[in-house]
C-alpha cells in the first residue's frame, strides 16, 4: 500500500500522537479476535506535524462487510479491562477529551464527559441550564449507568460512518477517540447521525445482545456528542442537546 499522510491541522500539537496511540490500542485489541475482516491501519510513522498510514482505497459498503463490522465490534467489546477511562487526555474530533482512570463508570461519564463539555459552554444561560440538571440529577445518572454497565471495554469513541472505511475486502476503523467504557457508548454513537445498517446491529446482537436499558443509555451517551458538537459548531446543535437532556430526565431521573 502507498502512504496516506495526514497533516496536523487541529491546533493541538499532540493530537496526531494521541490518534496514533488510539489506533495502536485498537489494532492490538483486534489482534485477539477472530474477525479478520475488521482492521485498523498500522501507524507507519507519527510526529507532531504528520501521521503516516497505509492508504485505503475505499469502495462502497456491502451487507457482508457491515455484518463483519457488527460482529467484530462486539468481539472487540467482549475483551474485559480492569478500569474505566484512560491514563491521558486525548481528542474527539477538534475538541479535547478529558480522561482519568476510574473504578466508577457512572461518575466518570458524568464528570469527564458531560461535565467537561458543559463547562466549555460559552453562553452562561445555556451553561446554567445544563449545570442545574447535572447538579440535581447527577448522582441518579451515575447510579443508573453503574447499574447497567457490563464491564470496561475498549471503545473507538467516535464511531460514526465517516470513521469507518471499506475497501471491498475489509472494514477499517480510523480517527478514534479511545478510552475504556461501557460498550453501548460506541453503539450509541453509531446512531448519532442516523444509524448503521440493520445487518450491523443484528450481527452485533448475535455476539453480545444490547441491554434492555440501551435506549435510555443511548440518549445519555449521545448527549455528550451533542454537547461537543454544540461547543464546536454552535447553536444549530442546541436543540438536539435539549431534546436529549429532556429524554434523559424523563427516562432516568426521578423528581
Task: State the Cα–Cα distance between residues 12 and 9, nearest whole angstrom.
Answer: 8
Rounded to an integer, the average pLDDT of 23-44 is 91
Dump pLDDT digits (tens) for 128-140: 999 999 999 999 9
The verdict on whether 158 is a catalytic residue reads: yes
pLDDT at 247: 94
Are 209 and 187 within 8 A, CB to CB?
no
Q: Which residue ranges make up each domain of the chain? A: 3-251
Rounded to an integer, the average pLDDT of 163-184 is 98
Burial class (CB in 10 A: 0-12, 13-18, 19+), 215: middle
Are 135 and 174 within 8 A, CB to CB?
no
- Cβ neighbours of residue 97 under 8 Å, at least 6 residues apart? 89, 90, 91, 116, 157, 177, 179
pLDDT at 246: 95
pTM for the whole structure: 0.96
Task: State the Cα–Cα distance between residues 51 and 15, nearest whole angstrom.
Answer: 10
Where residue 43 falls among pLDDT bands split at 50, 70, 90? Answer: very high
Dump pLDDT digits (tens) for 97-122: 999 999 999 999 999 999 999 999 99
Where residue 33 falls among pLDDT bands split at 50, 70, 90? Answer: confident
Burial class (CB in 10 A: 0-12, 13-18, 19+), 220: buried
Q: Which of 3, 14, 112, 158 is catalytic?
A: 158
Dump pLDDT digits (tens) for 47-84: 999 999 999 999 999 999 999 999 999 999 999 999 99
Nearest to 117 by CA among 228, 40, 245: 228
Task: State the Cα–Cα distance between residues 220 and 42, nearest whole angstrom.
Answer: 33
pLDDT at 35: 73
Dump pLDDT digits (tens) for 232-247: 999 999 999 999 999 9
Where residue 251 falls among pLDDT bands split at 50, 70, 90? Answer: confident
Q: Is 33 left (phi over 0), alpha (psi -120 to 50) or beta?
A: beta
Place of cell 477538534: 94
pLDDT at 255: 64
Percentage of the residues of the chain whose pLDDT score is greater than 70? 99
Where residue 36 falls among pLDDT bands split at 50, 70, 90? Answer: confident
Residue 189 reports pLDDT greater than 80: yes
Rounded to an integer, the average pLDDT of 212-224 is 97
CATH of 3-251, one of 3.30.2130.10, 1.10.3720.10, 3.40.190.10, 3.90.1200.10: 3.90.1200.10
pLDDT at 1: 66
Residue 126 reports pLDDT greater than 70: yes
Amino acid at each position: 500500500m502507498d502512504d496516506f499522510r495526514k497533516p496536523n491541522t487541529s491546533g493541538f500539537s499532540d493530537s496526531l500522537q494521541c490518534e496514533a496511540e488510539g489506533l495502536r490500542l485498537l489494532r492490538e485489541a483486534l489482534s485477539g479476535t477472530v474477525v479478520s475482516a475488521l482492521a485498523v491501519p498500522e501507524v507507519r510513522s507519527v510526529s507532531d506535524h504528520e501521521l503516516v498510514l497505509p492508504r485505503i482505497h475505499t469502495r462502497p459498503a456491502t451487507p457482508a462487510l457491515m455484518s463483519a463490522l457488527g460482529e467484530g465490534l462486539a468481539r472487540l467489546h467482549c475483551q474485559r479491562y480492569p478500569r474505566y477511562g484512560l491514563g491521558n487526555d486525548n481528542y474527539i474530533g477538534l475538541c479535547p477529551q478529558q480522561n482519568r482512570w476510574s473504578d466508577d463508570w457512572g461518575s466518570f461519564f458524568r464528570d469527564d464527559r458531560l461535565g467537561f463539555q458543559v463547562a466549555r459552554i460559552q453562553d452562561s444561560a445555556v451553561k446554567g441550564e445544563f449545570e442545574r440538571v447535572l447538579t440535581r440529577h447527577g448522582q441518579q445518572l451515575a447510579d443508573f449507568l453503574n447499574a447497567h454497565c457490563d464491564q470496561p471495554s475498549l471503545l473507538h469513541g467516535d464511531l460514526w460512518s465517516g470513521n469507518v472505511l471499506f475497501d471491498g475486502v475489509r472494514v477499517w476503523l480510523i480517527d478514534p477517540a479511545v478510552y475504556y467504557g461501557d460498550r453501548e457508548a460506541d453503539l450509541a454513537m453509531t446512531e448519532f447521525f442516523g444509524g448503521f445498517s440493520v445487518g450491523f446491529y443484528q450481527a452485533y446482537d448475535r455476539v453480545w445482545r444490547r441491554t434492555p436499558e440501551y435506549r435510555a443509555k443511548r440518549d445519555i451517551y449521545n448527549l455528550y456528542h451533542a454537547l461537543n458538537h454544540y461547543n464546536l459548531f454552535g447553536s444549530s446543535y442546541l436543540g438536539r442537546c435539549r431534546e436529549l437532556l429532556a429524554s434523559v430526565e424523563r427516562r432516568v431521573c426521578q423528581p
